[in-house]
Amino acid sequence: MQQKLALGAVGFFGWWCHNPNSTKGQFYSRARQPTILSKLELIYHSSENVEARPWPTPVDGQWRIEYRNYLSNPSNVQMGPTWVRNGALYPVNSLCWGNGSPLDGKWGVWADYFTVRMSGRFYFEEGVYRFRARADDVINLYINQNPVILDEDASQVNEEYVVDRYISAGYHNVLAEFTELTGHACLEFSWTKLPVPEPPSNLRQIGRTITSITLTWQDNSTDETGFYIYVQNGNTWNRIATLGANATTHTITDLQCG
């Protein structure tokens, strides 16, 4: 039977052991100080066979999941993780620990006041993606270090955030940061590529004056968010109007003959 343990050091050489009597699942040094930086994973195979190995390296297409306790500043990643593992990417990424702690404290994480940092490098096809996230207590989501979802109100637990964002083709860095304060601890987030709307057709002129023309077209889609109208100037196309969904006409004004 394998048993796993975290080993770390904070500015001096020493060893760490898991305290079986700790209700918080903390790791202690000989000086009875909680661990700050955990470096190695110990796997107990037998009394004569204990394996030590570093945290797993990041893998494209997988999450690198880091667990941390915190005392005052939940965004202080300098404290170092108590446990690190790699995990698969799912259509809906969901973790829930109820009122307990991850793996019942065996990863050195408290039941309250901890963070989970999920980072990964994933391939996206070009398109518009819908990002969803909710948590008890707080979750923030970033793409290439740019915020997509910021949960700024910890009092509103399980509030769902939905954001649509254009993503170019290629690999992108995704980061989800979860913070647990007290009580129930759950997080859930996902992204899906939205279908491309059918383009409009049958563009034609239906009216004109000396300084304007009115255009109309057939709307072939039911899920578009709007229309852009462009005018060609030499080899350049300039956007001159942004219309809402289901629009089928537009009048271009301030035209000049010549």
Q: 30 falls in which pLDDT band (50, 70, 90)?
A: very low
Give residue 29's pLDDT.
37
64 or 108, which is more confident: 64
Section 244-254 average pLDDT = 93
Second-level CATH architecture of 201-252:
Sandwich (2.60)
Q: Where in the chain is the domain with CATH 2.60.40.10?
A: 201-252
Lowest mean pLDDT among 36-40, 42-46, 202-206: 36-40
DSSP the chain: --EEEEEE-SSS---EEE-TT-TT--EEETT--B-S-EEEEEEEEETTEEEEEEPPPP-TTEEEEEEEE-SS-TT-GGG--SEEEEEE--SEEEEEEETS-GGGGTTS--SSSEEEEEEEEEEE-SEEEEEEEEEESEEEEEETTEEEEE---TTSTT--EEEEEEE-SEEEEEEEEEEE-SS-EEEEEEEEEPPPPPPPEEEEEEEE-SS-EEEEEE---SS--EEEEEEEETTEEEEEEEEETT--EEEE-S----
Confidence category of residue 57, pLDDT binned at 50, 70, 90:
confident
Predicted pLDDT at 36 = 40
User: Which CATH number among 2.60.120.260, 2.60.40.420, 3.50.50.60, 2.40.110.10 corresponds to the domain 62-193?
Assistant: 2.60.120.260
pTM of the model: 0.67
**Where in the chain is CATH 2.60.120.260?**
62-193
User: Has residue 16 got a pLDDT over 80?
Assistant: no
- Average pLDDT (127-145) is 95
For residues 183-203, give the mean pLDDT: 92
